[in-house]
Amino acid sequence: MRYIRTNSLKRLFSLKRRSLDGDVDVGTSATALSAEYTENTVPDSPPPIEIIKGKNRSEDGNCTAAAEDSQRRPAWRCFSHEEVYTATDGFSPDRLVGKGGHAEVYKGILLDGEEIAVKRFTRGSNDDRKVKDFLTEIGTIGHVNHPNVLPLLGCCVDNGLYLVFQFSSRGSIASILHNENLPTIDWKTRYKIVIGTARGLHYLHKGCQRRIIHRDIKSSNVLLTSDFEPQISDFGLAKWLPSQWTHHSIAPIEGTFGHLAPEYFMHGIVDEKTDVFAFGVFLLEIISGRKPVGGSHQSLHNWAKPILKQGDMERLVDPRLVGAYDIQQLGRLAVAASLCIRASAAWRPTMEEVLEVMEREETDLERWSMPEEEEEEQEEFWGFEELECECDSSFSTSISPEDSISTESSRN
């Protein structure tokens, strides 16, 4: 299968230089890019959106409904290599805040003082593969516009391929939650984090112009704004799922150990319920303060399952909270987590239903009761996560460039 050539990419993106100096029909040029991209790339990837001058801002600064989103596209710009080079101090090692298998992320400061995160694609010497990764990610996140998703500010295609994001000074949830040198995140903030993350994920599944499966929801891929509003980041593994498709069948399997849903781990099947399972693990992590996989290779959801089944919810709570939590909110979050981590995808809720469970004062538990035979079948799946720790040679884990933005963070 062929991918769009690097020279073609540069030629099509060269419109950004002309758009800064004069009037250019950007939409026409973007259509040309879309046509060539669609013809020469994988069929399940969306075309990149219109490229226009300016930063990533919606018309009213907010996006809360699918109808509004379909009428409005995020505004982002193409940066020159000089801009990103100067901002990152020549991609200085001192500015490197994260490194993965196919990208590096640098902290940058623009001339106007705005802090940015520059993701530089570095996948080996295979230019076609690097371009494909770049177009796939920009074609996914380029359509996204929601307060709980990390905004894309723009891109650069001069002397390499780069994506430019807002920089998160607080960093990722994982960097704060598991740092013993930082104050414990209080319950009110934790509740705000899980609700905001759920809204962002629901938007990706149902409210966005594209139906997006993130595939790597975890605490290190959720960043925090200055007021502790969560923002989902790192769309390197994200998949666009056409509306007429029920699921993707993917190989090789990529993701993070401890977060992989059984149907994905065993059969490579991906849909919205894959993210729901990962969110359940994320939810347990926020409640308990435990890491998704412990030192004994026991997964968090495997540890939590018997506690949830017994209904002893308070045993889940992070002991560092010293009892300072809302018992009713805890009960709702625990119920939501127990539904999300069900082995059978068919019996997991959608993210809209997860939000209902977490926010409503009362939940009809009978609605979620499973037939006895389904319960027995589910029991057979538990323990699959132990295989994750033994088969890491056959899996590739995603190292989040955006979560690495958190390495220098501190709670103010």
pLDDT in tens, 306-340: 999 888 899 999 999 999 999 999 999 999 999 99
Assign domain 173-407 to its CATH superfamily. Transferase(Phosphotransferase) domain 1 (1.10.510.10)
**pLDDT (0 to 100) of residue 331:** 94
- Whether 392 shows a pLDDT value over 50: the answer reads no
pTM: 0.76
Better-scored residue on pLDDT, 302 or 397: 302
- pLDDT, residue 69, reads 46
364 is catalytic: no
119: annotated binding-site residue? Answer: yes
Strands 254-255 and 396-397 turn out to be: parallel
Q: Does residue 174 register a pLDDT over 50?
A: yes
State yes or no: pLDDT of 223 exceeds 80: yes
Domain ranges of the chain: 6-166, 173-407
What's 149's DSSP letter?
Answer: B
pLDDT of residue 13: 53
**pLDDT (0 to 100) of residue 19:** 42
Encode pLDDT of 141-164 as tens digits: 887 889 999 989 999 998 999 999
| Structure confidence at residue 395 as a pLDDT band (50, 70, 90) | very low
**What does the pLDDT read at residue 49?**
43
Per-residue pLDDT band at 128 (split at 50, 70, 90): confident
| Residue 261, pLDDT score | 74
Alpha carbon 324 to its chain's center? 30
pLDDT above 70: residue 269: yes
Provide the CATH topology of domain 6-166.
Phosphorylase Kinase; domain 1 (3.30.200)
Torsion region of 199: left, alpha or beta (phi above 0 gives left; psi -120 to 50 gives alpha): alpha
* First-residue to last-residue Cα distance in the chain: 49
Render the burial of 319-341: b for 16+ CB within 10 Å, e for the rest: eebeeebeeebbebbbbbbbbbb
Rounded distance, CA 62 to CA 43, Å? Answer: 31
- Asked if 220 and 398 count as a contact pair (C-beta separation under 8 A), the reply is no
Q: Choose, from 69, 133, 158, 216, the residue flagged as catalytic.
A: 216
Give the pLDDT band (50/70/90) at residue 293: confident
> Percentage of the chain with pLDDT > 70?
65
Q: What is the mean pLDDT of the chain?
A: 75
At residue 71, does pLDDT exceed 50? no
What pLDDT, on the 0 to 100 scale, is given for residue 54? 37
Tell me how crowded residue 209 is: count the other CB atoms within 10 A of its CB: 19
